[in-house]
Amino acid sequence: MIRVAFCIGGYPPEEFKRRADLALSYSTPEVQVGIVNVEASPYFYGITPAEIQLVAPAFIDAYRRAEKEGYDAVVPLGMLDLGVDGGRSAVDIPVIAPMEACLHVAALLGDRFGLVIYHENLLAFNRAIVRRYGMEDRIVGFGVCGFDLPDLAAHRDEVVQNFVNEARRLIELGAEVIIPMGISQCPVHIDPKGLQQQLGVPVVEGFGAPIRMAALLVSLGLKQSRVRWPKSGMGRK
């Protein structure tokens, strides 16, 4: 049995349960997904790079706890890949970045991707994430659902319709794969399988791709390179 920890930050109880239940649904007879709490939250308006960097220590702490609890790999919730770079030096189990995993899975399914984000205010930062992974030349464009994270649940029908419209526009521009760059759009509020049938192209989302990637690396006996991510001595006794 491969155990994959899914790290979730602070959300209102109903929203936390929605995400936890969805993560647990990716368990199989061979892969057990478990939830590890993170003492930080992305659930507010106007998130910026400052807040993103400030929460990294909380996510790294969660990765360390996951390793101590016997998990074989760890995945943070969300497409911002929070604390992943530092986490790979902090623990000896694979730390899988959801956005990075989605980009690499998408590259196996098509050459050009369309990304749909929450709000246009996040566009510059989301572009920078893609650029960091060297995938910017594969992106045909970004779509915008038009709502910030805390407003998605209250406007679910509009979010779904806006997402579908933006995804179709990106496909017309040449996108062969759609990546929801915001898990609260899809798969939290939009079923990826139904969306894929509706759009006629693969949809690669940030729960399934990183969880399955984590299990794959564990099954192959692979983990992050210590040449690229030297082991940190911090936190060891």
The boundaries of the domain holding residue 22 are 2-97+209-219
Q: Is residue 237 part of a domain?
A: no
Burial of 182-210, coded b for 16+ CB within 10 Å and e otherwise, reads: bbbbbbbbbebeebbeebebbbbbbbbbb
Q: Is residue 70 part of a domain?
A: yes
Residue 114: enclosing H or E segment and its boundaries?
strand 113-117
92 plus 184 within the same structural domain: no
**What's the confidence (pLDDT) of residue 46?**
58
Q: Is residue 232 part of a domain?
A: no
pLDDT tens digits for 157-216? Answer: 998 999 999 999 999 999 999 999 989 899 999 999 999 999 999 999 999 999 999 999
**What's the confidence (pLDDT) of residue 48?**
74
Q: Is residue 168 part of a domain?
A: yes
Q: Which residues pair with 214 in a beta bridge?
A: none
Q: Is residue 214 part of a domain?
A: yes
The residue with tokens 């920890």 is 5
What CATH number is associated with residue 186?
3.40.50.12500
pLDDT tens digits for 71-96? Answer: 999 999 999 999 999 999 999 999 99
Q: Is residue 228 part of a domain?
A: no
C-alpha 109/C-alpha 103 separation (Å) is 10
The answer to whether residues 75 and 19 touch, using CB atoms and an 8 Å cutoff, is no
pLDDT at 235 exceeding the cut of 60: no
pLDDT at 42 exceeding the cut of 70: no
**What's the confidence (pLDDT) of residue 60?**
96
Band of the pLDDT at 43, cuts 50, 70, 90? low
The residue with tokens 């478990």 is 34
The answer to whether residues 164 and 175 touch, using CB atoms and an 8 Å cutoff, is no
Question: If DSSP codes are grouped into helix, strand and coil, which group holds residue 72?
Answer: coil
The answer to whether residues 35 and 23 touch, using CB atoms and an 8 Å cutoff, is yes
214 plus 159 within the same structural domain: no
Query: Of 177, 122, 128, whose CA–CA distance to 145 is shortest?
Result: 122
**What's the confidence (pLDDT) of residue 233?**
78
113 plus 63 within the same structural domain: no
Query: Of 45, 37, 52, 22, whose CA–CA distance to 205 is shortest?
Result: 22
What CATH number is associated with residue 88?
3.40.50.1860
115 plus 29 within the same structural domain: no
72 plus 162 within the same structural domain: no
pLDDT at 150 exceeding the cut of 80: no
168 plus 118 within the same structural domain: yes
